[in-house]
A = this chain, B = another copy of it.
């Protein structure tokens, strides 16, 4: 491989990807091979076969998900709302181009349609082809309907169309910033039917406290029931990651959550335990709720 690749460096005959996203922390992954590389209309898309994490999806030089740990995030984001909702028939996923959340959602017999709104077709194509462990491969469940369009626009004027909406966004920089805005949350609220609920990733409680609390407050103003849960996401900065549930129906107590699907990370105890917030986080959330 002598071709020059964007974002990759060769050093002593080894190929490396160094993430340049953060000013004061650099993570470099040793790469075995470039499986996919394309400049889409939206971003630079790669799937890199890494030594430590297997195939990884890399957008504009930043690792998004890996075969070694992507299942943790995808399972938590999919199974929490789908276990909490008693009869999830119509599901909307915004973002989630790696198709992992859709793959997990397809495990529910009650689910009739899964609208997957990812703006970048190249991401979906790359993951379906080169990250089958994460995406489910090239022959997806027929209930999954791909919409290659902007999620923010798609969700407008969808009054009461969904039981569950899952926001699988990237970090709130650039276009993804809108996915953390009050207006967007308001559109989600309208797009949910009477007993509907939404979930979003709400960043690291350690390194993005402000973003996390802003989401918490905005969702809390719109939905009568709100709850935070956490999971470990090894390749995200800080490892500990927060998720926020906003619901129009009362949420079950953790110990009443049931789960009977096959999964690698999630089981019934893990879903229940994920509501046990670390002391500093419980305090943060309680302080703001009291305001």
Interface residues of chain A, those whose CB is within 8 Å of chain B, are: 16, 22-30, 50-52, 68-69, 72, 206-207, 230, 232-234, 236-240, 263-267, 269-270, 272-280, 282
Nearest chain B CB to A19 CB, angstrom units? 10
Question: Which chain B residues border A68 with CB–CB below 8 Å?
Answer: 206
Of B26, B30, B264, B279, which is within 8 A of A267 by CB?
B279
Question: Which chain B residues border A28 with CB–CB below 8 Å?
Answer: 25-28
CA distance A232 to B238 in the complex (A): 9
Q: In the complex, are the beta carbons of B26 and A51 less than 8 A apart?
A: no
Nearest residue, chain B, Cβ from A51 = B24
Nearest chain B CB to A251 CB, angstrom units? 16
Of B239, B269, B276, which is within 8 A of A270 by CB?
B276
Nearest chain B CB to A268 CB, angstrom units? 9
Q: In the complex, are the beta carbons of B282 and A277 less than 8 A apart?
A: no
Chain A binding surface SS class: loop
Nearest residue, chain B, Cβ from A26 = B28
Supply 10 A–B pairs (Cβ within 8 Å), ascending by A.
A22-B52, A24-B51, A25-B52, A69-B238, A234-B239, A238-B239, A267-B279, A269-B276, A270-B279, A272-B273
Nearest chain B CB to A234 CB, angstrom units? 4
Nearest chain B CB to A6 CB, angstrom units? 20
CA distance A29 to B265 in the complex (A): 30
Across chains A and B, which 9 residue pairs bring their CB atoms closest together, nearest first? A239-B239, A273-B276, A273-B273, A24-B51, A269-B276, A24-B30, A26-B28, A232-B240, A234-B239
Q: In the complex, are the beta carbons of B278 and A270 less than 8 A apart?
A: yes
CA distance A266 to B280 in the complex (A): 9
Of B238, B263, B278, which is within 8 A of A279 by CB?
B263
Nearest residue, chain B, Cβ from A29 = B25
Q: Knowing that A25-B51, A270-B278 are A-B contacts, what are 5 other residue pairs whose CB atoms are under 8 Å apart, sorted by A's residue number?
A: A24-B30, A52-B207, A234-B238, A269-B276, A269-B282
Q: In the complex, are the beta carbons of B278 and A265 less than 8 A apart?
A: yes
Of B26, B30, B232, B276, which is within 8 A of A23 by CB?
B30
CA distance A25 to B63 in the complex (A): 13
CA distance A239 to B51 in the complex (A): 18
